[in-house]
RNA sequence: UGGGAUGUAGCCAAGUGGUAAAGGCACGGGACUUUGACUCCCGGAUUCGCAGGUUCAAGUCCUGCCAUCCCAGCCA
């Protein structure tokens, strides 16, 4: 399989759950007559750092950044925030672009890099020096830390703070020229060492790094810090609204300081929102990378991971993910969304669109004793119960069938509607049968179940007088296609792995993956390869694994189970 | 002991001083059903972190307190 994710057509992911929230209110103000952006087009940007794979937390940011632009008929740029050559790599860029396209968003020809602006950014640094607003500092990292003060005590000025402008300029140019080793000098903004906001205590805006950059190569040996490069990049792209997560709230005064003191072509407004968290998983790139690199999962796209590539492999649809993000709303409350809500959004989408099929995950033989050996017939079943347009396909029936082991009990609890001796059950799409018994091996394991079909009930004809409450799925032993099925559960056993003091290795769910090697599906699936997968009736939604499934060896991942209100009465 | 934010049902989340505190998820009950699915009904906050105050009227305004989150990278 391994299909390459294409741009999802927009109408494929159209959702209409937009509700008003504070960001929209701010934008409305700004665009209204008298507002600071009156007459302009709303212009946002999504600025990932290419140092890891995108996860569903990013999806929220993407939906907000691209979605807001769409809402106002504006534009959203894609920009790689690549100001730290030490951590970033081109290989992530491709994956990031793929994931955004998959979600159904497009940046047109506006794909940029912070590194595109290194020359301009450098120029703004010289401007600050010229204005006496930046200085070259010689403090070591340790000295700088000591002089920064603490959360409750003010910092003290660097001894180099009042270096003459000419000297600053000379040193800064020589930093660029590569005359100094890493760490020897930094360029710092001259703001306020006594500020309660640590970000304003003369922050470093340029550091020396003799590192090859993935795009600019060895052109530069000094690199701007995020706080300096970001507002400049935004302004150069004429971004109106720079939407970011809450932890940058403290940085807004610095963002505004840069915008106010550099001769930039526009003045973007930064607005912060709470990032998305989901229980039973982790969302930090650092932790995800550790899990991947330690081989605890099968790569960045392991279906148990909250990465977009993992969710895609798991069978999540772009629509479900966008819907999830939109329905969660936008606020400033740090929140943890129940993973059940994510699952609900997937079922909501797949229920409408996924073709239905039958699969037996844990088979046991069912023999219809009054059906002749060697005989066989074909039934036509609808691909979707509520959507005739979805078409139909054929299944075969014969004396020996396969059913789910849990659909037979010799001695069932009350209100068990499935097979047990004497009980009537409907075989989905075929006929009604009466269970007549079973045989077991020496361990007491059921090895074969027996039943008789009730003549005249083929094709779903009305039951004969008795109420048939149970319907089970089944396969024809003759035509069933063997396959592998992978079932997934939470990656972690605790709701909040980040908040747990134990090492995360202890919190990993040992049963997060269950591989079923003895499962079967209808022959129809061997040729259909539905891109959004299938509903295996009474079980859940499954999709072919985009790494491992082949025509010779089908592999299905369970995207999400069906809701199940069956509660055994003990 | 600093600065910045946030507190409305188990989880998200509307609410921008005016009769009865949206909606969704989860959960429970019921109807329907050739998926114990879907769909459809019904159910929950005398109360909005707490305490005072202003007002004819406060979740919405004021004061104080409490709790939680973020910030001391030459990361983003």
User: Positive or negative, the Cα torsion across A324, A329, A330, A335?
Assistant: negative
Residue A456 has pLDDT above 80, yes or no: yes
Predicted confidence at residue A568, as pLDDT, reads 84
Minimum-distance nucleotide, CA of A197 to C1': B3
**Where do the DSSP E strands lie in A269-387?**
269-273, 276-278, 335-337, 356-357, 359-360, 363-368, 376-382
Q: Is the CB of A339 under 7 A from strand B?
A: no
Predicted confidence at residue A4, as pLDDT, reads 43
The Cβ of residue A155 has, within 10 Å, a number of other Cβ atoms equal to 20
User: Which residues of A are tagged catalytic?
Assistant: 49, 275, 285
Query: Do residues A316 and A559 lie in contact, with contact meaning Cβ atoms separated by under 8 Å?
Result: yes
pLDDT band at A1 (very low <50, low <70, confident <90, very high): very low
pLDDT band at A462 (very low <50, low <70, confident <90, very high): low
- Rounded CA-CA distance A430/A366 in Å is 14
Angle between helices A252-261 and A226-236 (to 10 degrees): 60
Predicted confidence at residue A6, as pLDDT, reads 55
pLDDT band at A178 (very low <50, low <70, confident <90, very high): very high
Measuring alpha carbon to C1', the residue closest to nucleotide B36 is A566
Minimum-distance nucleotide, CA of A209 to C1': B74
Q: CA of A327 vs C1' of B9, distance in Å?
A: 18
Say if strands A481-488 and A513-521 run parallel, antiparallel, or are unpaired.
Answer: antiparallel
Q: Is the CB of A351 under 7 A from strand B?
A: yes
Tell me whether residue A67 is exposed, middle or buried, using C-beta atoms within 10 angstroms of its C-beta: 0 to 12, 13 to 18, 19 or more. buried
Minimum-distance nucleotide, CA of A245 to C1': B70
Q: Is the CB of A330 under 7 A from strand B?
A: yes
The terminus-to-terminus CA distance of chain A in angstroms comes to: 44
Q: Say what the ipTM of the complex is.
A: 0.96
Please write the tens of the pLDDT for every residue from A83-111: 999 998 999 999 999 999 999 999 999 99
Q: How large is the C-alpha radius of gyration of chain A?
A: 31
Q: CA of A337 vs C1' of B67, distance in Å?
A: 20
Q: What is the pTM of this model?
A: 0.95
Which tokens in the block code for residue A39? 């007459």
Identify the residues numbered 39 to 98 in chain A whose C-beta atom is closer than 7 Å to any atom of strand B: 47, 49, 81, 83-84, 86-87
Q: CA of A367 vs C1' of B6, distance in Å?
A: 63
Mean per-residue pLDDT for A326-342?
96
Mean per-residue pLDDT for A493-522?
95
Q: What are phi and psi of A446, to 5 degrees?
A: -65, 130
Q: Is the CB of A314 under 7 A from strand B?
A: no
Identify the residues numbered 161 to 200 in chain A whose C-beta atom is closer than 7 Å to any atom of strand B: 182-183, 186, 196-199
pLDDT band at A567 (very low <50, low <70, confident <90, very high): confident
Predicted confidence at residue A20, as pLDDT, reads 81
Q: Is the CB of A101 under 7 A from strand B?
A: no
Q: Protein footprint on strand B: which nucleotides are under 7 Å from a CB?
A: 1-8, 10-16, 22-28, 34-39, 68-76
Q: Is the CB of A341 under 7 A from strand B?
A: yes
Residue A158 has pLDDT above 90, yes or no: yes
Predicted confidence at residue A12, as pLDDT, reads 57
Identify the residues numbered 484 to 513 in chain A whose C-beta atom is closer than 7 Å to any atom of strand B: none
- Rounded CA-CA distance A161/A194 in Å is 14
Identify the residues numbered 107 to 126 in chain A whose C-beta atom is closer than 7 Å to any atom of strand B: none
Q: Is the CB of A386 under 7 A from strand B?
A: yes
Predicted confidence at residue A461, as pLDDT, reads 64
Q: CA of A39 vs C1' of B76, distance in Å?
A: 32
Question: A466 vs A446, which has greater pLDDT?
Answer: A446
Q: Which of A493, A490, A475, A488 is nearest to A403 (CA)?
A: A475
Question: A11 vs A416, which has greater pLDDT?
Answer: A416
Residue A5 has pLDDT above 60, yes or no: no
Give the number of C-alpha atoms closer than 13 A to the C-alpha of residue A287, restricted to the C-beta side.
Answer: 17
Beta-bridged to residue A446, according to DSSP, are A440
Measuring alpha carbon to C1', the residue closest to nucleotide B74 is A207
Which tokens in the block code for residue A404? 């789910």
Which tokens in the block code for residue A510? 């040992």
Q: Is the CB of A456 under 7 A from strand B?
A: no
Q: CA of A202 vs C1' of B33, distance in Å?
A: 69
Q: CA of A246 vs C1' of B8, distance in Å?
A: 21
pLDDT band at A3 (very low <50, low <70, confident <90, very high): very low
Q: Is the CB of A286 under 7 A from strand B?
A: no
Please write the tens of the pLDDT for every residue from A364-373: 999 999 999 9
- Rounded CA-CA distance A60/A338 in Å is 15
Predicted confidence at residue A8, as pLDDT, reads 60
The Cβ of residue A22 has, within 10 Å, a number of other Cβ atoms equal to 12
Please state, rounded to an integer, the average pLDDT across all residues of chain A: 95
Q: CA of A193 vs C1' of B52, distance in Å?
A: 39
Which tokens in the block code for residue A143? 């000295």
The Cβ of residue A316 has, within 10 Å, a number of other Cβ atoms equal to 28
Minimum-distance nucleotide, CA of A19 to C1': B14
- Rounded CA-CA distance A148/A476 in Å is 74
């Amino acid at each position: 399989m391994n299909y390459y994710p294409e741009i999802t057509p927009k109408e494929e992911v159209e959702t209409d759950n937009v509700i008003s929230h504070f960001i929209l209110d701010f934008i409305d103000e700004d665009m209204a007559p008298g507002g600071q952006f009156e007459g302009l087009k709303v212009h946002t940007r999504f600025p990932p750092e290419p140092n890891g794979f995108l996860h569903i937390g990013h999806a929220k940011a993407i939906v907000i950044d691209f979605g807001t632009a769409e809402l106002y008929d504006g534009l959203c740029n894609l920009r790689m925030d690549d100001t730290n050559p030490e951590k970033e790599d081109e290989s992530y860029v491709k994956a990031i672009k793929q994931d955004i396209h998959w979600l159904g968003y497009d940046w047109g020809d506006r794909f940029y890099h912070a590194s595109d602006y290194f020359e301009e950014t450098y120029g703004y640094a010289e401007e600050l020096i010229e204005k006496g607003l930046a200085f070259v500092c010689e403090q070591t990292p340790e000295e700088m830390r000591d002089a920064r003060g603490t959360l409750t005590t003010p910092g003290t000025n660097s001894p180099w703070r009042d270096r003459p402008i000419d000297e600053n300029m000379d040193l800064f140019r020589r930093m660029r020229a590569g005359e100094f080793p890493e760490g020897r000098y930094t360029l710092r903004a001259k703001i306020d060492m006594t500020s309660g906001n640590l970000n304003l205590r003369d922050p470093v805006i340029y550091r020396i790094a003799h590192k090859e950059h993935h795009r600019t190569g060895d052109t530069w040996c000094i690199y701007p810090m995020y706080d300096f490069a970001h507002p400049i990049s935004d302004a150069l792209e004429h971004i109106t609204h720079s939407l970011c997560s809450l932890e940058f709230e403290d940085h807004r005064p610095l963002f505004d300081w840069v915008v106010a003191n550099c001769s930039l072509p526009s003045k973007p407004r930064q607005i912060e929102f709470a990032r998305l968290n989901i229980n039973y998983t982790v969302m930090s790139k650092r932790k995800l990378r550790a899990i991947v690199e330690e081989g605890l999962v099968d790569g960045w796209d392991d279906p148990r991971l909250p990465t977009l590539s993992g969710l895609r492999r798991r069978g999540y649809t772009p629509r479900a993910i966008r819907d999830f993000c939109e329905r969660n709303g936008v606020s400033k409350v740090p929140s943890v969304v129940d993973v059940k809500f994510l699952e609900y959004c997937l079922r909501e989408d797949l229920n409408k669109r996924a073709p239905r099929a039958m699969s037996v995950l844990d088979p046991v033989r069912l023999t219809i004793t009054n059906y002749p050996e060697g005989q066989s017939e074909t039934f036509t079943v609808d691909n979707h119960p509520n959507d005739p347009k979805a078409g139909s396909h054929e299944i075969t029936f014969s004396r020996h069938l396969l059913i789910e082991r849990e659909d037979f009990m010799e001695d069932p609890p009350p209100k068990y509607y499935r097979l047990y001796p004497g009980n009537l059950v409907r075989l989905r799409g075929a006929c009604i049968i009466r269970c007549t018994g079973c045989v077991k091996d020496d361990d007491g394991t059921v090895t074969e179940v027996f039943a008789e079909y009730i003549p005249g009930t083929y094709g779903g004809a009305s039951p004969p007088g008795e109420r048939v409450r149970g319907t089970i799925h089944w396969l024809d032993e003759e035509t069933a296609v063997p396959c592998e099925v992978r079932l997934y559960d939470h990656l972690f056993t605790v709701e909040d792995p980040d908040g747990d003091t134990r090492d995360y290795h202890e919190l990993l769910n040992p049963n997060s993956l269950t591989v079923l090697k003895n499962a079967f599906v209808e022959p129809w699936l061997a040729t259909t390869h539905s891109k959004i997968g299938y509903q295996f009736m009474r079980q859940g939604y499954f999709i072919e694994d985009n790494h491992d499934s082949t025509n010779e060896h089908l592999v299905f991942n369970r995207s999400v189970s069906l809701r199940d209100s069956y509660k055994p009465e003990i």
